[in-house]
Chains A and B, each alone.
Chain A
Amino acid sequence: MPTAKLSRAMLFGAFLSLLFISAALLSFVWTPYSVETLDIANKLQKPSAAHWFGTDHFGRDIFSMIMVGARTSIAVALVAVGIGMLLGVPLGLAAAAKRGGLLDEMIMRGNDLVFAFPPLVIAIMITATFGPSATNAIIAIGVFNIPVFARMTRGAAISLWTRDYVLSARVSGKGAARISLEHILPNVANLLIVQGSIQFSVGIIAEAALSYVGLGAQPPIPSWGRMLAESQTMISFAPHLTVFPGMAILLTVLGLNLVGDGLRDYLDPKLRRSKT
């Protein structure tokens, strides 16, 4: 019974995720209206057949902006996850290989240190120094993904180091680096996929929050968080400006979370029992 429900939830999640990913891809070749052309005479129109989600305070088509905004969100979150994996996983593998040693201690304390900084404060500081841009949002989010992946990789890898096949590889004279690559990494790959999907959805929310406070992608590139920020004063007489971008964030994150949960249960049957 739970399994059936589970896959239904995952299918729904996959549907939502694909919907937004395809909207983002489609926006490269087609949007109903240009998001760069302003039409101030037609500002703040309610949703209609011509403008499905209405128009914003500059007369831009909100549906088109959400399509292009999906691109910004997904790109930022994806690259941030990539940064986290590329730097975090090797650190985690190295720490596990030298577990208990000085390197391990240094990596773990470094992790704690990064975790100790409030993420938004780091973003504010990066922005104050280099100015706001999508790139700086990626860096700010990516920095926090590094310890997440490092910690997770280390935890999983340490238990793998005691397995028989690793021991026999050591006996046959393989070095720690080679063992990490050949035997440990493939076995933590599943976990990485699951964690990656979680961090991806965390990244979408983080990007929205950063651009909401003005630290993300700059105009005229649309971003969901900035759409929310700009429409905030108009919420009382033009709620559609706020509702649609908010729903876009909500549904994308929901979809990704459902997919992530489903993946975890699929890849790690042990957990299927309890975690929905």
Chain B
Amino acid sequence: MTTLRTAAALTSALALCASLGTAHAAGGDVTVGLQLEPPHLDPTSAAAGAIDQVLYSNVFEGLTRFGPDGSINPGLAKDWDVSEDGLTYTFHLQEGVTFHDGTTMDAEDVKFSLDRARAEDSANAQKALFADIASVDVVDPATVKVTLSKPNGNFLFNMAWGDAVIVAPESIENIKTNPVGTGAFTFSNWVQGDQITLTKNADYWGEPAKLDSATFKFISDPTAAFAAVMAEDVDAFGGYPAPENLPQFEADPRFNVLIGSTEGETILSTNNAQPPFDNPKVREALAHAIDRQAIIDGAMFGYGTPIGTHFAPHHPDYVDLTGNSAYDPEKAKALLAEAGFADGFTTTLKLPPPSYARRGGEIIAAQLRDVGIETEISNLEWAQWLEQVFRGKDFGLTIISHTEPLDIGIYANPDYYFQYDSAEFQGVMAELNEATDPAKRSELLQKAQTIISDDYVNGYLFQLAQLSVVKANLVGIWENSPTQATDLTAVYWEE
């Protein structure tokens, strides 16, 4: 619920295209490995990032779109006007845009998409993105007016999400198996359990794709991923799941390893409402008992940036607060004794499937044992984690990466699963939502980061790195992951 880089970002629109210019071969096919297969192909009715990984920007486009550096660029809207009071956005659409089934994309489709997302029976997983929309009106086929109920500095940012892409009423019925969008690639085939193929859209309204086709191959097992890259079954692997293998790829001239940033703050989430974690002293002890570097080395083989608060280090407003919770087991023991737990205590540590959680969990368990805290580890599937931890709030500790961009606002909700309830923090967030002055917003964001760090709400571990392995002559794969996407529109083979 916070800032935006709009001012700077909008002017740098389409900066990605500037990188072109070297000799490159037009055409060709690419096979991209991904860990997770989409459950279905409708990005507007599921939380699964896997859907966006395949379709975002390639098949579906929104009014605005994320650039590789996280900037917000024009998409189907070529430009827009914002009213003085910040309540009315008038979008001027690109003209001559057609959906892959040949129907025209116009203001009616935009109205349909936004109204569908915010409707009563909407199944949109990010319905909150549309919460401030009061009405959507068609001015003429190329102009849409969106009226907000209150100013929202994030509105253009929200419209860039995969959950806000423009879909057509003509093709909505079968969207889950046959997605029809406006992007530079058209959906061609899905072998469930194995791969999805996209082909170049010859009638694309903008800069056409350079590849003739793209295949996404789903390989959930990290060992299999390693073998598939080594055997050159895939040309690139986005979000490579096993950091321990990267040195081998780096040593191999056939591959390039890309290490970028994500929006994922990996934290030791702590149940603030459950004793003994309702005692700030205990949480402080926890923070000093954890050796972040050992976790990054042991669980991520060195990839990851230490964080001291819930904020992405590459963000301009980030404050480095890692010193606040420096590794100091003696201090941790002293704090525990002060809190009345000189002999330690036992708690639960519930771990979801990703390896950062499973490995990090074992390391944290050992570190906590050193200061007298015993943990009972249970490895959970996602469905169990959602049920027990996220909904049931039945946990002491858990490890999780919060991958939504700019999500510090979750700390203002006392019902959120870690149950942090601070009037001061909630006040800062309320003020931030009203604030429009960039300097003021910056200041408030930094204040918010400091509050949660000082309250030791959660154990702040590291910012998840985006790890990709790419064939040496494949150019244009995003290094960073400002949103979950594999944008192939500017990817090409170098000769």
Contact = CB atoms under 8 A, between A and B. Distances in A.
> Are chains A and B touching directly in their complex (CB below 8 angstroms)?
yes
B306 to A, nearest CB: 15
Nearest to B223: A232
Nearest to A242: B223
B222 A131 contact: no
A38 B381 contact: no
B399 to A, nearest CB: 13
A58 B363 contact: yes
B298 A57 contact: yes
Contact of A220 (B221, B242, B365): B365
B222 A232 contact: yes
B36 interface: no
Given A40-B294, A128-B381, A218-B377, A233 B366 contact: no
A140 B86 CA distance: 61
Nearest to A133: B378
Which of A43, A219, A220, A237 has the most CB atoms of chain B within a 10 A radius of its CB? A219
Interface string B324-368: 000000000000000000000000000000000011011101100
A157 B380 CA distance: 45
Contact of B298 (A36, A58, A214): A58
B380 A220 contact: no
B379 interface: yes
A260 interface: no
Contacts of A214: 379
Given A128-B381, A218-B379, A38 B363 contact: yes
A235 interface: yes
Contacts of A233: 222-223, 226, 242, 244-245
B366 A38 contact: yes
A235 B224 CA distance: 12
Contacts of B247: 237
A69 to B, nearest CB: 15
B361 A219 contact: yes
Interface residues of B, number: 28
B384 interface: yes
A32 B123 CA distance: 56
A236 interface: yes
A235 B245 CA distance: 10
B390 to A, nearest CB: 16
A132 B358 CA distance: 14
Interface in B250-307: 294, 297-298
Nearest to B301: A57
Interface string A43-66: 100000000000001100000000
A33 to B, nearest CB: 13
A237 B248 contact: yes
A22 interface: no
Interface string B364-403: 0110010000000111110110000000000000000000
B298 A128 contact: no
Contacts of A132: 378-379
B362 A219 contact: yes
Contacts of A218: 377-379
A36 B374 CA distance: 12
Given A233-B245, A236-B226, A236-B248, A36 B381 contact: no
A131 B298 contact: no
Nearest to B241: A233
B362 A220 contact: yes
A126 interface: no
A43 B243 CA distance: 15
A235 B248 CA distance: 12
A219 B377 contact: yes
A37 interface: yes
A128 B382 CA distance: 11
Contacts of B365: 219-220
Contact of B384 (A36, A37, A38, A128): A128
A36 B375 CA distance: 12
Nearest to B291: A40
Contacts of A236: 226, 230, 245, 248
A59 B152 CA distance: 50
A234 B243 CA distance: 10
A57 B244 contact: yes
A233 B221 CA distance: 9
Given A40-B363, A233-B244, 6 more contacts: A38-B298, A58-B366, A220-B366, A234-B245, A236-B226, A236-B248
19 contacts: A36-B369, A38-B298, A38-B366, A40-B297, A40-B298, A40-B363, A128-B383, A131-B378, A132-B378, A219-B362, A219-B365, A220-B366, A220-B377, A232-B221, A233-B223, A233-B226, A233-B244, A236-B248, A237-B247
Interface of B: 221-223, 226, 230, 242, 244-245, 247-248, 294, 297-298, 358-359, 361-363, 365-366, 369, 377-381, 383-384
7 closest residue pairs by CB, A with B: A233-B242, A40-B298, A232-B223, A38-B366, A233-B222, A219-B362, A40-B294
